[in-house]
Structure 1
Amino acid sequence: MRHTNSVFHDLLKLVPWATFDKLVVEFGSDDAVRRFTTRHHFLALLFAQFGGASSLREVEAVMASHRARLYHVGANAPKRSTLADANRDRDPRVFAKLFAHMLAATPRGFRRTMGDAVRLIDSTSLRLAGAGAQWARFSSDVFGAKAHVIYDPDLGRPVYHAVTAANVNDITAAKAMPIEAGATYVFDLGYYDFSWWARLDAAGCRLVTRFKANTPLREATIMPLAEGSDVLSDRIGFLPARQAANRKNPMHDAVREIVVETETGKRLRILSNDLDAPAQEIADLYKRRWQIELFFRVMKQTLKITKFLGRSENAVRTQLAVALIAFLLLRALQEITKATHGFLELVRLVRANLTHRRDAARLRHNDPPRPLDHRQLELNWAMT
């Protein structure tokens, strides 16, 4: 009779465990650990993400109820105090590095040259409260963190993430992000900094963002518009010689201003350093920004990044990294099984069948129960 793994087991087979073990050694995250190893910790957090657990107590109770089924994947049911201690004390870089490795291992068919790569940059707020959140103090009684993400809209997955306190400006976090030479970066007004734009420009990157309302375009030349275009105007000129605080502007090259009108009648001044592409192409690139906002919404609806199992900096960084790994695993499952249903439905089906022995490619099908092995029944009867 054909053996069928649990859905959780099928998802875990997509994890590069050899790399995971190397990272555990690299960061010494199992040093002086007797029982609750890094692997146990990782499996518990993944189970919480896939299962939708919202508290340490829920993780403890649900994993204990499935103890027999979890034994076969090497997981155990931790006490909530044990899990809380691990969230607070274990180095989150193990999980962040694993996420980075899994991104680098993207199948060759999905890779493109950097000239074709589009990168959307944005951040989302993560509200925190209670003991351990002092590192993320925003005001006298408000605590929060930010997740800063670079997102690939063509692959439908993040390619970089970082966590800061909520009072860290987006542009401050952006300056620490890696720059991929030749890629296209699309971002909003939170990243309005001429010196950072100059760094992108020097790396051969195309940038697409918005002008602030009070930023003029000097020595502007009006460009002709393509027939049938939605663009209202297209001009090439130069940014002001000075930026905020009377600092010199290092962005000396010409830029482009493309004016479009939204469905609500609002006019947007889109800025780009690409002087050659059709104006409509630049406008369409800026429209793609909504995809990273949709990603944040999906993450908050389907995975646990709005309620944290710990509020210390380590705990938040760890849980966010594991949530992103869970997202990659679900995306991989969706691609491998060639699922025709949407991502949100896949998450719901995985959650409902997580410890069941089901074919992950047939979660929507009402398959009959596995037949009993009558030979075993006959043997048991004969022995009585």
Structure 2
Amino acid sequence: QADKYHKKFDFEHFLKVFLYGIDNECESLREIDTAFVSPDLQQTMTLDAISHSQLSRELAQMDDEILWAIFAQLLEKTRSKIPVTKRNALYLVDSSTFSLNTTRYPWADFRSTKAGIKLHLKLCFMDKEHFYPDQFEVTNAVEHDDNHLEVFVNQPEATYIFDRGYIDYERLDEMEADGYFFVTRVKK
């Protein structure tokens, strides 16, 4: 019975499994791994088993252009389902820093004792049922947030919410005059 499905795990299988995880909003590779107890899923994927470590190795080797293409397709699909209008355009802009090992990632400038990257994210929030990442950039952790203000605040008549790291009062005055709306805290 174990030979009933293909045993060879190739890129096509990995991509199907990866897209299954996205479509089912799996929160981890382990969750995808656990889903394979279902005989229906095994039959659909033509695999009898998969491990989270196997998925991790494949994901590490995946060309990032494929991930960009998947993100772009999902974003376009989401935008077409619920078009953004002046009334529902609310964007949350923020960044998160991820520390890395300086030996393995010497290019990721952060501090003298550790490396790091920063994920800058713009999230479109329409209501509690409809929100999605609209735009993102990954930079070295030393990159300051205010360098990304104009990158993410780019649709007039929308409302943006961001923290003090993005504040440049002169640029905010110009943006307000150009029809942008925003909510933030003052620097002091």
TM-score bracket for this pair, using the shorter chain length = 0.5 to 0.7
Could you say which residue in structure 2 is the equivalent of 1:43?
A: 17
The structural deviation recorded for 1:168 is 1.1
Call closer, same or farther: CA 1:132–1:114 in 2, change over 3 Å.
farther
1:196 and 2:168 correspond: no
**1:140 lines up with 2:95 in the alignment:** no
Give SS of 1:152's match: strand
- Which residue is 1:277 aligned to? none
Deviations for 1:342-367, whole angstroms, at most 9, x for unmatched residues? xxxxxxxxxxxxxxxxxxxxxxxxxx
- Deviation track 1:144-180 (CA, whole Å, cap 9, x = no partner) reads 2222222334334233322222211111123222511
TM-score (norm 1): 0.36
Structure 2 CA distance, aligned partners of 1:195 and 1:206? 15
Alpha-carbon separation, structure 2, partners of 1:164 and 1:46: 29
Displacement after TM superposition at 1:200 (Å): 2.4
Which whole-Å CA distance do the structure 2 matches of 1:168 and 1:125 have between them? 10
Paired position in structure 2 for 1:101: 76
Query: Separation in 2 of the partners of 1:42 and 1:202?
Result: 48
Which residue of structure 2 lines up, in the alignment, with residue 52 of structure 1? 28
Structure 2 CA distance, aligned partners of 1:187 and 1:106?
Answer: 26
What are the within-5 Å matches in structure 2 for residues 1-384 of structure 1? 35-37=10-12, 40-41=14-15, 43-44=17-18, 47=21, 50=26, 52-53=28-29, 62=33, 66=37, 69-73=41-45, 77=50, 78=54, 81-86=57-62, 89-91=63-65, 92-107=67-82, 111=83, 113-129=85-101, 132-156=104-128, 157=131, 158-177=133-152, 179-213=154-188
Report the structure, 1 or 2, having the larger strand content: 2
Residues 120 and 153 in structure 1, CA contact (< 8 A), matched pair in contact too: yes
- Do the aligned partners of 1:103 and 1:159 also contact (CA within 8 Å) in 2? no
Q: CA deviation at 1:136?
A: 2.5
Larger radius of gyration: 1
TM-score norm. by structure 2 comes to 0.66
Structure 1 residues 203 and 130: CA distance shift in structure 2, 3 A = same
Q: How far apart in 2 are the matches of 1:74 and 1:97? A: 27
- The 1:47/1:79 distance shift into structure 2, 3 A limit, reads closer
Structural RMSD (CA)? 3.6
Query: Alignment identity in percent?
Result: 23
One-letter code of the match for 1:101? E
Of the structure 1 ranges 62-71 and 199-208, higher mean CA displacement relative to structure 2 is found in 62-71
Alpha-carbon distance in structure 2 between the residues aligned to 1:116 and 1:65: 39
Taking structure 1 as reference, are residues 96 and 79 closer, same or farther at Cα in structure 2, changes over 3 Å only?
closer
Report runs of 4+ in structure 1 exceeding 3 Å deviation: 45-49, 62-68, 73-83, 127-135
The residue type equivalent to 1:98 in the other structure is Q
Q: CA deviation at 1:187?
A: 1.9
Which amino acid letter does the alignment assign opposite residue 183 of structure 1?
A
The one-letter amino acid of 1:146's match is K
Q: Conserved in 1, the CA contact under 8 Å of 2:89 and 2:158?
A: yes
> 1:64, 1:113 → 2: CA distance?
38
Structure 2 unaligned blocks of 5 or more? 1-9
Q: Is the 8 A contact 1:41 1:83 kept in 2?
A: no
Cα distance between partner residues in 1 of 2:56 and 2:111: 30
- Residue 36 (structure 1) shift: 0.8
Kindly tell me: are residues 197 and 70 of structure 1, through their superposed partners in 2, closer, same or farther at Cα, counting changes over 3 Å? farther
Q: Which ranges in structure 1 are unaligned for 5 or more consecutive residues?
A: 1-34, 214-384
